[in-house]
Amino acid sequence: MAPFTTDSAEFNVLQSGNKINIGYVPPQNVPVYRGKTWCATGPCVGANNAQLAANYNLSPLYGWAINYFPLNFTNPTSGSISSSCTSAKQCSR
CA distance 10 to 31: 17
What number of helices (H) and strands (E) belong to the chain?
A: 2, 2
Please choose, from the candidates 1, 92, 17, 25, the residue with its C-alpha nearest in 3D space to the C-alpha of residue 55. Answer: 17
pLDDT in tens, 7-34: 888 888 888 876 777 777 888 888 888 8
Residue 81: per-residue pLDDT: 59
Residue 91: per-residue pLDDT: 57
CA dihedral 36, 30, 17, 14 (to 10 degrees): -120
pLDDT in tens, 69-83: 877 777 777 666 555
CA distance 85 to 93: 12
CA 14 to chain centre: 20
Residue 33: per-residue pLDDT: 80
Residue 42: per-residue pLDDT: 77
**Cβ pair 43, 60 in contact under 8 A:** yes
Residue 25: per-residue pLDDT: 82
Domain ranges across the chain? 1-65
